[in-house]
Structure 1
Amino acid sequence: MKRLFVLVALIFPLALSAQTKLSETVAADFSARVAHHYTLKNDSITGYIAEQLNRSGAGGLDIDSTMFNLKNDLPALDAALKYLYQYSDCNRQRFITNLRNMDLQTNSVFPLATYTANKYKNDTKALLEDKSDFLKTYTGPVTGKQPPAAMAQATASASSTASTSTGETAAAGTTTTTAEGTAPAAAATTVVDTRSWEVKPLFQVRTPEQLVEMYGKDNVTQRDATDLAGTKEGEAYVIYPDTDDELEVQFDGENGNILTFSHFPSKWKSPYGIKAGDPLEKLIKVNGRPFRINAFEWTNGGLVRDWQGGALEGKGVVIQLKANNTGDPKQYDQVTGDKTLRSDLPVLKKLDVIIQSVAFKSN
């Protein structure tokens, strides 16, 4: 009997470890199947995963590159499994069915299911609530992608890929698969917007001439550039100036480009799903934790000062916030002046704080 207890004591930790860690083979298999299905049109599973990765920030600046190479980005792979589990309503059997629908090898399915169910077993309520909120604004999968071309080819192919952009309207009579099933696509309108609203090619552009080639000379203009604090920083080029879709591009040589959004609503598919006009609560959610901001009506007022080690730390994201509801001086005075504030300060919610401008700098 003593030997039996010793044997159990030795085996149990090994069994537990097998349930809490993925082998390289299983991770590579899942990565390969995600990459394949991401090339398929209207793939509901990978479309859902990609959009959630993009909104959460786990997909990085280039969501396509992440989706095609999850095995080399283990935090993103873990997040992809989490969102597939969420897509499956946090139901293990439904999760297994979806893994099989992705044509995973048989010996990969159960390790993935066990690993994921164990890892997120305490997050079920939060994941289901997040899914409910997500589906309110989710417009369906944007898949049918090809593995990213070399950097030198990105700009040259940008204009030719406009017809497959997120702004394309489905033709009448076709169907689009969503996370909730298959539903008829909207009927084609007389005027179809075939412009590309993907921002990732803009991080690779290096000259104003390339912008003109991509968007047309009537849609690009030059202006003096200022950062979000109001400091002049040379010149910038604005795409679709004086419209809701205005986007400012500032070239910084080999240091990369800075893209700034200050208008809303906007059709651009911005990194991390963050846009001007988004509420403070969404920004806290994307960062994964509260952060610190400069108080309003002072030097650098409303700028995020420190991400406090959250998901946006070191990602080249600069954000300026503004308060919409400033009618109560007693409340507004609490958040003005030469001081810093925690983003979860209750009064900020009462003041209806939103993103005024957001800038993304390529690394």
Structure 2
Amino acid sequence: MNRGLLLACIASALACACSPAPQPAPAPKPQATPAPVAPPPVPPKAEVAPKPVAQPETWELPGGLGPLTTRRELDARFGKANVREDTFAGAEGIGTYPALVIFPDDPRKRLELVLDADDPDAPIRELRVRSTDSLWHDASGLRAGMSLAELVALNGAPVSFYGLGWDYGGTVQDWHGGKLANAVGDPLFHRVTLSARKDADDAALPAGDATFRSDDAKWPAIGKDLVVDELGISWPSDGDE
């Protein structure tokens, strides 16, 4: 080996010994964990007013109905579809009169509100029930369909009535001072009409334009064979007795 090559090798070795060792690459720094994002605040629930609860019908008369009850009030209470205008013939074929009929197609709920034929804006004149299986009754328990015997017991006294078979037949004329008597000054007037029970023997029942008493021994079957066929409740006008 010549002297020049030897010197070159020595110089190269010295250069390598003096050079710093390569440093390893720095480890990557861990990424910071992002802070959790808070959910947006939930707005408070708006308070909802409770829906009005319809009161169950008690079927008691007059039950809040009165002469000044309006058509709008009737529609709100019973439903507009359940209030119908109608016209009825008067007794003995004399004239006609208007009425509003509540639940006209349901015999048990049907109620007729008789109006003044001469004044369409006049107040209601009478509440009338004409179904013997009606749900309607008054506060005393008076109802259509009860027997004459039950009516007398409720009244606490005999009653007098017209004989059957004509337009005013069966109408109670005298309560003889009983609980159902229409005394002057009373806020309500009761009108009751009797008729024969469906399977009754008409020959055993009083008829004609005459007055009969419920306690008349000549008619022993009337207590069970006569029933309240029609019930009317009205508000006496000035001058009514």
Give yes or no for TM over 0.5: yes
Identity of aligned residues (%): 29
Aligned to 2:29: none
Q: How does 1:328-339 map to 2 (within 5 A)?
A: 329=203, 331-332=204-205, 335-339=206-210
Counterpart residue identity of residue 318, structure 1: R
Q: How many residues align?
A: 171
Q: How does 1:51-70 map to 2 (within 5 A)?
A: none
Q: What are the superposed Cα offsets for residues 298-355 of structure 1, whole Å, 9 maximum, x if unpaired?
A: 35111111222222222511111011244363x23xx112211001234343661100
Aligned to 2:158: 290
**Residue of 236, 251, 262 corresponding to 2:99:** 236
**Residue of 90, 113, 117 corresponding to 1:249:** 113
Q: What are the superposed Cα offsets for residues 165-191 of structure 1, whole Å, 9 maximum, x if unpaired?
A: 3xxxxxxxxxxxxxxxxxxxxxxxxxx
Q: Is 1:305 aligned to residue 173 of structure 2?
A: yes
Q: SS of 1:234's equivalent?
A: strand
Q: SS of 1:248's equivalent?
A: strand
Conserved in 1, the CA contact under 8 Å of 2:149 and 2:224? no
Conserved in 2, the CA contact under 8 Å of 1:245 and 1:265? no
Q: For the aligned residues, what is the CA RMSD? A: 2.8
Query: How far apart, in 2, do the equivalents of 1:232 and 1:348 lie?
Result: 36
Query: How far apart, in 1, do the equivalents of 2:122 and 2:83 lie?
Result: 22
Q: What are the superposed Cα offsets for residues 232-290 of structure 1, whole Å, 9 maximum, x if unpaired?
A: 55211011012121001124577764111111423334342111111111211222100
Aligned to 1:207: 70
Higher strand share: 2
Q: How does 1:1-363 map to 2 (within 5 A)?
A: 162-163=54-55, 165=56, 195=57, 197-199=59-61, 200-203=63-66, 205-225=68-88, 232=95, 234-243=97-106, 244-251=108-115, 257-314=125-182, 315-324=188-197, 325-327=199-201, 329=203, 331-332=204-205, 335-345=206-216, 346-349=219-222, 352-363=225-236
Higher helix share: 1
Q: What are the superposed Cα offsets for residues 202-256 of structure 1, whole Å, 9 maximum, x if unpaired?
A: 1264322221122111100011145677755521101101212100112457776
Counterpart residue identity of residue 214, structure 2: S
Counterpart residue identity of residue 343, structure 1: S
Conserved in 2, the CA contact under 8 Å of 1:323 and 1:351? no
Counterpart residue identity of residue 156, structure 2: G
Counterpart residue identity of residue 245, structure 1: K
Q: Which runs of 5+ in 2 are unaligned?
A: 1-51, 183-187, 237-241
Structure 1 residues 348 and 223 mapped into 2: Cα distance closer, same or farther (>3 Å)? farther
Query: How far apart, in 2, do the equivalents of 1:295 and 1:197 lie?
Result: 30
Q: TM-score, normalised by structure 2?
A: 0.61
Query: How far apart, in 2, do the equivalents of 1:201 and 1:229 lie?
Result: 32
Query: How far apart, in 1, do the equivalents of 2:153 and 2:102 lie?
Result: 29
Q: SS of 2:220's equivalent?
A: helix
Query: How far apart, in 2, do the equivalents of 1:341 and 1:208 lie?
Result: 40
Structure 1 residues 275 and 336 mapped into 2: Cα distance closer, same or farther (>3 Å)? same
Aligned to 1:92: none
Query: How far apart, in 2, do the equivalents of 1:229 and 1:313 lie?
Result: 26
Structure 1 residues 257 and 350 mapped into 2: Cα distance closer, same or farther (>3 Å)? closer
Structure 1 residues 161 and 358 mapped into 2: Cα distance closer, same or farther (>3 Å)? farther
Conserved in 2, the CA contact under 8 Å of 1:224 and 1:232? no
Counterpart residue identity of residue 65, structure 2: L
Q: What are the superposed Cα offsets for residues 90-121 of structure 1, whole Å, 9 maximum, x if unpaired?
A: xxxxxxxxxxxxxxxxxxxxxxxxxxxxxxxx
